[in-house]
Each structure stands twice: as structure tokens, then as C-alpha cells.
Amino acid sequence: MAAPYRQTFVRLLTFLRPYKWSLWVSVVLAVGSQACAVLMAWLTGTTLEQVLTSKSEHDLWVLIGAVFVVGVIRAVLMFGRRMISGNQALGVEFDMRNALYAKLVRLSFGFYDRYQTGQLMSRATVDLQTVRFFLGYGLIFFFQHILTVVGATAVMFFVDWRLALCATAVTPFIIVLAYRYSHVSHPILRDVQQRMGEVATVAEENIVGVHVVKSFAQERAESQKFEQRSEAVFRQSVNANRQRAVYVPVLSFLPLLAQAVVLLVGGHMVASGELTYGDFFFFNVLTLMLVMPLRMLGMWIGQAQRSTASGERIFEIMDEPEVIHDRPGAVALPPGEGRVRFEHVDFSYAEGRAVLEGIDLEIAPGDTVALIGHTGSGKTTVASLVPRFYDVDSGRVTVDGADVRDVTLASLRRSIGVVAQDPFLFSATVRENIAFGVPEATYEAVERAARLAQAHDFIAALPDGYETVIGERGITLSGGQRQRLAIARALVLDPRILILDDATASVDATTEAHIRTALREVMRGRTTIIIAHRLSTIALADELVVLSEGRIAARGTHDELIESSPVYRDIYEHGLLERELAERVEARGDEVAA
Amino acid sequence: MRVWQPGSHLTMQRGAEVRDWSWRRTTRRVTTLARLTRPYKLRTTLALVSLLLAALTALIPPFLARDAVNAIQDDDLTKLSWVVAGFVFAGVLTLLTSSAQTYLTGWTGERILADLRNRLFRHLQRLSLGFYERNRAGVIISRITNDVEALDQLVTDGVTTLVQNSLILVGSAVLLFYLDWRLALATLVVVPFMAVATALFRSRSSRAYSSVRERLGLVTATLAEDINGMRVVQAFTRETPNQRRFQEVNEHYRAANHTTVVLNGLYFPFVDFLSAIATMIVLGYGGYLVFEGQTSVATLFAFILYLSNFFDPVQQLSQLYNTFLAAVAALDKIMDVMDEEPEVLDRPGAGELPRIAGNVRFDDVRFAYGRGAEVLHGIDLDVPAGTTVALVGHTGAGKSTIAKLLARFYDPVGGRITIDGVDLRDVTQASLRRQLGVVPQEGFLFAGTVHENIAFGQPGARREDVVEAAKTVGAHDFIERLEDGYDTDLQERGTRLSLGQRQLVAFARALLADPRILILDEATSSVDIGTERRIESALEILLAERTAFIIAHRLSTIRNADLIVVLEHGQVVEQGTHAELMTQRGLYTALYGDWADAA
């Protein structure tokens, strides 16, 4: 084992630390139950000898009684072992999940920019499953099997070392072979899974994109493509199967060989009087007992390797630095009216690729500023720095005079309401979604926010009103409805600063007018930063800030900028107008459809 | 590979249910499967033979062990050697036959499944758009993935388990009775206990595991949702309550799992205990019989060896029941899809559509989806070749239905659609669609390279032509900038490209196919301004010299159209050019008027 590999393995074991006590108890119970198994084998051999040499019927009944007693004790010990280690396994899994979640919650936006949901999910499900299976069940079984093999072998050597040598000659071969099988089959089986995934992808595309396939009359070509993928699954499955056909029968054959050797050599020894019948039978039963543990040992070694690899991927996340966190001694954001200042702010997502350069911006309390610019000009980034989703590279961002890095994240973010471009809603009730930032909000507060955001009417029309679960029973919301819920969600916080990424989703004209009124209402007395994509929202702003390549290109009112700023003129003529129309047409349509 | 999907925990399968156990249905299931094995008769037969042989040879060794003990007792060492040789020989036989069996059953099973998958896919390709609109995509996809997989377990493992374990069980019992029927009878007393315990355990644990799966699904779904929405969670400082909620869900899962721990904790030791009881009976009653001189120690020894054959098969067989139910349910669902017939069929003797100029006529076309209400009420349109038609109107007015009818995804209920005077129903679908180009909203792309996506309609297209098409629509520059240029793998649905870039690739695809008639559904989502301009000019090139039907959202598109058709409630309410319609002060003006004023 390489050093980092061993380190990961040892580190995985630390998850067992809280269960030290139960671990020891289950080890003791496992030792006990395996000892019972060996005892049972010995009793079987001795009884058969008793019967053969027909000593006394009385001794026979004593032995039979012993078999029963040992059987009961073993069952009780096994039950205890399973209950204790089973609960311990569940505990380990529970702890690992919670630890991972706790970590994920603390990781900052930068981390989520780098990792896709799918990647994180596969670590949190597949990798975690592998690790917990090994730590929870594998380790105990592994230990129990080693115990059985070592114990039974030791007993054999104790009884007769020559026969023991014969009987255990195949042992290393079985372990090595089982390990090899687990080692070579794993990549192939994983490949089968992956190719199944490819089959699913082609099927999915063809089903979701059926209109494209049909309109280009490509049914035949797509069928061929599908069959190729499907045949690849077949070929690889057959490969996996071929391995199975080689290894598994051999693995079953080797113990049989051991049995044959015991019969032959043991038989000769019995005949020459070197071995008693009792020990002969004892050996036979012990050989039989070893079959399963030997095969499993090899498998568990492979399992240990895989779970270490999975563990490594999990630790990769657990070791991610938590970039954004409260500075020691951070205080709550002091009360204020919501003055926002950017002082010489430089920022980049990745080193060497500046996104913002020397931003200086002051937004007076209660003012509304619209940020305008092409894609990639940095307008979303500017807005993200206020709630400290990222930290600046140099310069500082202050809210009411306090550097955002000097105050607690909780107090800062509770004072800022954020409405994202494509608002993410949770599959919870409407009420829970609106009260997301203030779970203890009263029903009245939720409804007030919904009314302000022009969302009350459509919510009331939902089957269960505010208690309707979003996403359930096919209840989906239109883009406009989602946006209004997101606005309500931000309003419940009663924030001093509002950040609004003006959604591109369409809202019908009437609602849009309502939202505009609502926004005017909610902006009153709050500092508002709007990332603007359309004309109507620009009209709400006191001042426009035009961003271009990470710098402030111009600021002023619409009338001023249309004269002075070529960047603004370009955006105005070619972006905002066109989109305005597209949205309006679609919105009108939705209105009718609804 | 099972892919996690949002909300999947809400619709998770709650165990398989098979309602129809009628004789007819059952024979159909069997014949469906039997028909699949037909091309591989030889292999199937060989698989079954090796399966039988493997199970039978596995029964021999314990029997020979008895003879070995007898030989030892008789002090006949030559006989012992022979018996042990036979023992090893039986082992070798098992080795060979089970190896052959594993390979052959695996091969046939996988082959049958691959065939089934392919047939199912080809059948799906034949079905009309109506089928896809009636059924949710997720459901259809799971037919070809999850359901085939459920069948896989039965075909590859299930059959083997069933035959092998039943044979071993029955064979062992027969041999035990042959060895000593009284002892066999006494020993097998434990079997009913075993059977009852196993049945109880199975039903309890299948319930427990389905609850575990359900709750694990909830854990996964919660996790996925929170990872997706982590930015919102953090923006609203919900870290602590969310963490608490996650722990709750996690705890729920643990509680459900606890039941399985208890069940396993009770069952497996109990089975072990039963085997101790069986050993006790063999030794006690067997010992008594030996004392009475009615049986031999060698027989007792063979009994002990056979006993280990008994417990494993019972457990394996009981497990099979669930696999079997799931597979039958899956087979039923697959058969239902195979029974679907395409609604749009080529008429017998339908000819090829000759190269068209592109004069499109709708004559009093009426249409309804399935048995639903009529959605088009007598559409009349006369579109000369080369015309760009902009379809405008509210959602649900019938714009996309008209487009679908033109591509003959559906047949009209009344009236007719002709191209160059030929009724669409008189020609083959393939020959019609080869001359049509469809650009869907958002430009649907496939996993595969950029080249493959552009050449989608012309799989054999040369690189020069693909590049030419990409250049014409202005997609060449960004394609060149991708790491492998035209050979860059776009991955699922082309998610590596931005929305605007996907549209441009879709334009290039349509251009390369060089259709006579273009059907274009303009995207409503916004793209950045540079791309917007490129799309505008690409559109101009694409529309030149062909008939085009556009479900239009862009002002410039509509203004430049030769003919604007305004639809309302499935009827054409206005048609004409922009200038003409603006003077009518009708619906069109209402739609665009206030904007025009604002501009």
C-alpha cells in the first residue's frame, strides 16, 4: 500500500471512533460465535467417533445436548453481534452523511462554480455508499472471516500438523484468486454500467428530441447508433461473464480439492492409526467451514481498496478550504440605512483573469442603481460581492461603513434580499418557500410579502393555496410566477438592501405592470441594485451604471447615457428592444393560455 | 446507469405489481420471451443442458464421501484412492459444466436483452409524435432502461438460480431418502420451519427495504436539491435550519434501516440455529440408528455434508420471487409499448415525393389531438414557393400544430395539405421529410461531436461541407475555438455550448440538409447581443430561396416576413405583410401596437 493510500484508509477508520465501545463488543461476540462454530465441528467429529466406537449411549446424549447448547449460544451471540454492529453501521453512515452535508453547507460560491451538481451527488451517494458499506459491514465481516480462517487453521495444526498442511494447501490460492477476480472484474463491471449509461443517453435524446430525428428522417441512422451502443453493452457483459465462467467455478473447485485431500490423506492416517476417526471427521467439517470465509476474504480486500478510493474522493471535498467564513471576533452588521460602497475593488474568479478592475461605486441609502453591460462585463459579479458570496482580491466593499469581511455572514445576508435571475425554488410548500429566509415568519407576514410581490392572487388559485407543494402532482410554475415568489421570498427578510437580477423569464404585460408597481413600492426606503436586461426595469432606476470589461464605463440617467455612452447605445438598440418584444409576445400568449 | 432526477423520490416505484395473471396474458409473456430465444436455439439448448449437468454433478461428492468413509472402515485403501479419484473427477465435471453453463446462460441472456433493446428502440422510432406527446419522456425512457434491466435480472441470473437451486434441493432430498429414509424424514423436519421463517422474513424485509429505499430516495433528493439551491440556502442564511432538516431526513432513513437490522439479526442466527438442530437430529437419531445397527456412520457423515446443501438454496429461491415479480411487471410494460401502432403510416403504394418547388396549400384543414376537441377549424393558406411565413398568435392559437401538420407528424382530421399539388398522405414520410428542415426552439443537440450534430441530416457529409455550412451561419469561429474544433464532443444535449451557440449549430444543421421547406421555431430565451446579431444574419441566409414557416418571436423576423399569418383560437384571423396589417388595426396591431408606440 502506498503511503497516501494507507493514510486515507486510516483516516476512514476515524469514522469508527465514536463506536469504539460497540466495536469491541462486536469483536468479542464475533470471536465467541466463531469459537462456537469450531466447537460445533469438534462435537460433530467426536460424536461420530462415539457412535462408531459405540462406547456408551449416555455419552452420546451428553454430546447431543452439548450440540444443542452450543447451537443456542452461537445463535444468541450472532444475534447480539448483528444488532450491535448493524446499528453501528447505520450510525457510521448517518454520521458520514451529516458531516458531508455540514461541509457542503459551509463551502462557498466559488466551490459550487467549480463542481457540478452531478459530480457532488456521485460523491455523496455512490462513493459514500461504498465507504459506509465497507466501514459498516465489510470490516466486521472481514475480521470475522479472518478469525474463522486463522482459528480453524490453528485448530487443525494443533490436532495434526501434517493433515493440516494438506488441508490448507489450497488456502492461499483461494484468497489470491478471489482477490484477483474481484480486482479484474470490477473495472469491467463498471464499464458495463458506463456503457449502459451511454445506451440510456441515446435513448433519452431520441425520445426527448424525437421531433428532430423525425424531421430529418434519421430514424434508421439513429437506430444504428443505438444498436452500436447496445452491442457494446452486450460485448462487455459477455466479457464480464467470461471472467465469471473462469473464476467462480475454479473458486468452488479448490475447496473440493482440499476436501478430497483430507479424505485421502486423512483416510490413510486413520487406517494406519495415526489419526482418530473423531479428528478425521473434525477435519472434514472444518474444511467445509472454511469455504465461504476464504472466498469472501479475497472479495473484501478488493472492497477495501475500492472504498479507500471512494474515501479519497469524499475527503477531497471534506478538505476543501472554507473560503468565506466569519472572521474571529466578527460582529453583527451595525444598523444603518443601506449605504453601499465599493472602494478600488479588484476581483477575479481564477488567478490571472481579472473580472473586475478598480471598481469605485457609492450607492446612497434608498437609491436604485441599474447595472448594465454585455454578457461577461461583470455586472452579476458586482452584485455578488455585496452579500459576500465572494471575497474581493483587493480594495473593499462596505455596507453602512462596515467592511463586509468584518461582520458576521448571517447578519450581513439577513439584511440583503437577493432575487436571482432564474429563481431556484425548493420542493416545499409555497409558504415555506416564501418564508425561506425567516422560517418563523407568521402567516400574515408571508401573505403580506406575497401581496407586495403580486403573487397572492395566483397562489390563492393553486389547489392548496399557500400550502401547495411546488413540483408535486405536476404543479409547476411559470417563469413569471417563480420570479414573483422569489421577490416575495426576498421581501420577507425586510432587507435594507435589495439585489435583483432581472429575470429574462416572461411575465405577462399586466403582471409586469403590477410587478413594476410592486417593485417601486418595495424599493422605497431600500437600497436596490438591479442587474437589468430590459427597458422597463431600467426605467425604475435612479441611476444607470454601465459596465464594460470589468470596469465602470459610464454612469448617469438614460437620457444622459444615450448621448454620451456608445456602449450603452449599442446595448439599448440591439439588446433591450428586441428582447422586450419577444417577451411581450410570449407573455400575451401565456395570458391567453392561462 | 440510474440517473437521479429531480422529484424522482415522489414517483418512486413502490414494488412491482402484476395484476393480470390470466392464462392468455401468461402464455403471451412466455411466447414473447421464447420468440426472443429462437435465433439462438443451439446455444439455449446447450445452456439448459449444461445447467442440468452442473446441478447434478454437484450432488455427487458428498455421496462419494460416504463411500470413502466406508472404504476407510473396511481398511480398503485402494478403494479409498478410487473413491477419492471419483470425488475429484466429479469436482472437475462440475467445474467444466458450471463454467460452460455460466458462459452460455450469460451469453444467451445478454444476447436476448440486446435484441429486445434494439427491437424496442426501432419500434419506438416507428411510432408517431402523438405517442410521444401522450406519454411523458421519463416513462418511455424507463421502458428501454429500467424495465429491460429488470428483465435482465430474471433472464441472466433468475433462471439459473431457479433451476440450479431447485435441482440441488430436490436432488439432495432424494439422495438423503435413498441413503436412509428414516433419518431423512427426521432431519427434514426442520425444513418447514425454515420455509415459514424464510417466507416471513422475505415479506417483512421486502416491506422494510422498500421503505428504506423510499427514505433513501428522500435523502438523495433533499441532498440534490440543496446542492442545486446551495446559493439560495447561503444567500438566505438557511445553513443551520437546512442542516437540521437534513439530519431529520437522514434520521428517518436510519430508523427505517433499523428494522432491517433487526430482521437480519433475527433471521440469520435462526437459520444457523436450525442447522444446529438438523445436525443434532442426524447425530442423535442417526447415532441411535447406528447403535441399532440400521445405518452406518458413513451415512451420517454424508448427511452432515448434504445438510450444508439445504439452507443456501432455500434462501436463494425465496429471493427470486421478488425478482420474478419485478421482471413480469417490466415485461408487461414493454409489451404494452410494443403493441402501440404508429398513427401516421405510409399508405400502401405511397410514392416518393419528387423534388419540390415548395408551393404549400392548406385546404380547409381541421385537426384535433386524439379524441380531444378540435384545435384547428378550417385553415386555408396558400403559400407560393419561396415565401417566408411568420405565424404569430397566442400560445395555444395553433401555430405549432400547423407546423407539425406540415411535417406530417400528424394527419389532419379534415381537409388536406398539399405541396406542389401533392397530398402529403400520398407520399412516403421519409421522402417528404428529407426535403423539410426543422429548427426546434433552443436548437436541440445530441451527444456527439459538433461535426456529427451538423451532419445529423446527412450522416455521410464531408468535413468541407460541414465547415462551409458552419461558416455560412457564422458558427465556424466559436467551433474552431473549442478544444477539438469540429471533433469536440458536445456531451448530453450539447450543454457545453451556450444557448445562442446551440441555435447556430442547429441552423448549420438545417442549412447542410438544404431543405426545400424550412420550419423554424424561434427561441424565446435571450442570448447575448453578439450572438443575437449573428443569429439574425444567419437567419437571413437560411431563409433565402426556400419556403419557410416560422413560429416567430423576433420583431425583425416578423417585419421581414413576406406573409404574416395571425392565428387566434385555431383560425386565421388576419394575414398580410407587416405594413398591411398595421393599417388594419386588428389583433396584430393590438399585439404589436403598444410596442410600436413605445419605440
Residue B174 touches partner A, C-beta closer than 8 Å = no
Mean pLDDT (whole number) for B482-498: 76
Q: Which of A108, A260, A472 is closest, CB to CB, to B84?
A: A260
Contact B226 A104 (CB under 8 A): yes
Contact B276 A219 (CB under 8 A): no
Mean pLDDT (whole number) for B534-542: 80
**CA dist., res. A280 & res. A328, Å (int):** 73
pLDDT of residue B593: 55
pLDDT of residue B588: 77
Residues 68..87 of B with a Cβ closer than 8 Å to A: which? 68, 71-73, 75, 77, 80-81, 83-84, 87
Contact A238 B106 (CB under 8 A): yes
CA distance B283 to chain A (A): 7
A559 or A270, higher pLDDT: A270
pLDDT of residue A220: 84
Residues 351..410 of A with a Cβ closer than 8 Å to B: which? 374-376, 387, 389, 409-410
Q: Is the pLDDT confidence value at B67 over 80?
A: yes
Mean pLDDT of chain B, nearest integer: 84
Complex ipTM over 0.85: no
Q: Is the pLDDT confidence value at B136 over 90?
A: no
Contact B397 A246 (CB under 8 A): no
The alpha helices in B128-180, defined as continuous H runs, are 129-134, 137-142, 148-152, 159-179
CA distance B243 to chain A (A): 7
pLDDT of residue B6: 33
**CA dist., res. A362 & res. A360, Å (int):** 7
The closest of B420, B475, B427 to B450, measured between CA atoms, is B475
CA distance B274 to chain A (A): 8
Q: Is the pLDDT confidence value at A584 over 70?
A: no
**C-alpha dihedral over A552, A558, A563, A568, to 10 degrees?**
50
pLDDT of residue B4: 32
Contact B72 A280 (CB under 8 A): yes
Residues 186..245 of B with a Cβ closer than 8 Å to A: which? 219-221, 223-239, 241-243
Residue B345 touches partner A, C-beta closer than 8 Å = no
Q: How confident is the model at residue B13 (pLDDT cuts 50, 70, 90)?
A: very low
The closest of B379, B378, B369, B362 to B343, measured between CA atoms, is B369
A432: its cell numbers: 415555506
Q: Which of B99, B225, B457 is closest, CB to CB, to A216?
A: B457
The alpha helices in A107-218, defined as continuous H runs, are 109-114, 117-122, 128-133, 139-159, 161-168, 171-208, 210-215
Contact A74 B269 (CB under 8 A): yes
**What is the per-residue pLDDT across B257-306, written as a single tens digit (0 to 9) for each?**
999 999 989 998 998 899 999 999 999 999 999 888 888 888 998 998 88
Contact A86 B265 (CB under 8 A): yes
Q: Is the pLDDT confidence value at B2 over 60?
A: no
Q: Is the pLDDT confidence value at B318 over 80?
A: no
**CA dist., res. B313 & res. B311, Å (int):** 6
The closest of A540, A545, A539 to A373, measured between CA atoms, is A545
User: First CA to last CA across chain B, in angstroms?
Assistant: 53
Helix, strand or coil, per DSSP, at residue B4: coil
Q: Angle at which helices B60-73 and B297-339 pack, to 10 degrees?
A: 170
Residue pair B100/B57 in contact by the 8 Å Cβ criterion: no
Q: Is the pLDDT confidence value at B14 over 50?
A: no
Q: Which residues pair with A418 in a beta bridge?
A: A499
**CA dist., res. B533 & res. B556, Å (int):** 11
Residue A69 touches partner B, C-beta closer than 8 Å = no
Q: How confident is the model at residue A575 (pLDDT cuts 50, 70, 90)?
A: low
CA distance A2 to chain B (A): 31
Question: How many CB atoms are closer than 10 A to CB A85?
Answer: 27
Contact B530 A264 (CB under 8 A): no
Contact B526 A579 (CB under 8 A): yes
Q: How confident is the model at residue B599 (pLDDT cuts 50, 70, 90)?
A: very low
Q: Is the pLDDT confidence value at A80 over 70?
A: yes
Mean pLDDT (whole number) for B448-468: 87
Contact B236 A493 (CB under 8 A): yes
pLDDT of residue B598: 37
Which chain B residue lies closest to A287 (C-alpha atoms)?
B305
**CA dist., res. B360 & res. B406, Å (int):** 9
Mean pLDDT (whole number) for A128-156: 87
Mean pLDDT of chain A, nearest integer: 85
Which of A110-119, A211-220, A430-439, B530-539 is predicted least confidently? B530-539
Q: Angle at which helices B60-73 and B77-126 pack, to 10 degrees?
A: 180
pLDDT above 90 covers a percentage of chain B that reads 25
Which chain A residue lies closest to B553 (C-alpha atoms)?
A582
pLDDT of residue A589: 41
**CA dist., res. A217 & res. A212, Å (int):** 8
Q: How confident is the model at residue B8 (pLDDT cuts 50, 70, 90)?
A: very low
Which of A117-121, A483-487, B341-345, B384-388 is predicted least confidently? A117-121
pLDDT of residue B363: 93
Residues 362..401 of B with a Cβ closer than 8 Å to A: which? 392-397
Give A270's contacts in chain B (Cβ within 8 Å): 72
pLDDT of residue B520: 86
pTM of the full structure: 0.77
Give A413's contacts in chain B (Cβ within 8 Å): 234-237
Q: Nearest-5° angle of CA B555, CA B547, CA B354?
A: 160
The closest of A569, A575, A479 to A533, measured between CA atoms, is A575
Give A136's contacts in chain B (Cβ within 8 Å): none
Contact A244 B304 (CB under 8 A): no
Mean pLDDT (whole number) for B336-346: 88
CA distance A263 to chain B (A): 7
Q: How confident is the model at residue A448 (pLDDT cuts 50, 70, 90)?
A: very high
Q: Is the pLDDT confidence value at B444 over 50?
A: yes
Which chain A residue lies closest to B443 (C-alpha atoms)?
A212
Mean pLDDT (whole number) for A10-31: 90
Contact B492 A201 (CB under 8 A): yes
Q: Angle at which helices A509-523 and A443-452 pack, to 10 degrees?
A: 120
R_g of chain A computed on alpha carbons: 35
Mean pLDDT (whole number) for B140-147: 85
Give A208's contacts in chain B (Cβ within 8 Å): 137, 444
Q: Is the pLDDT confidence value at A158 over 90?
A: yes
CA distance A402 to chain B (A): 19
Q: Is the pLDDT confidence value at B553 over 60?
A: yes
CA distance A593 to chain B (A): 6
Residue pair A167/A156 in contact by the 8 Å Cβ criterion: yes
Chain B interface, best mutation among A207, A279, A408, by max B CB count within 10 A? A207
CA distance B298 to chain A (A): 9
Q: Is the pLDDT confidence value at A339 over 90?
A: yes
**CA dist., res. A561 & res. A574, Å (int):** 15
The alpha helices in B236-296, defined as continuous H runs, are 239-291
Q: Which of A105, A227, A574 is closest, CB to CB, to B532?
A: A574
CA distance A184 to chain B (A): 17
Contact B529 A105 (CB under 8 A): no
**What is the per-residue pLDDT across A355-407, written as a single tens digit (0 to 9) for each?**
899 999 999 998 999 998 876 788 888 999 999 999 999 999 999 999 999 99
**CA dist., res. B330 & res. B120, Å (int):** 13
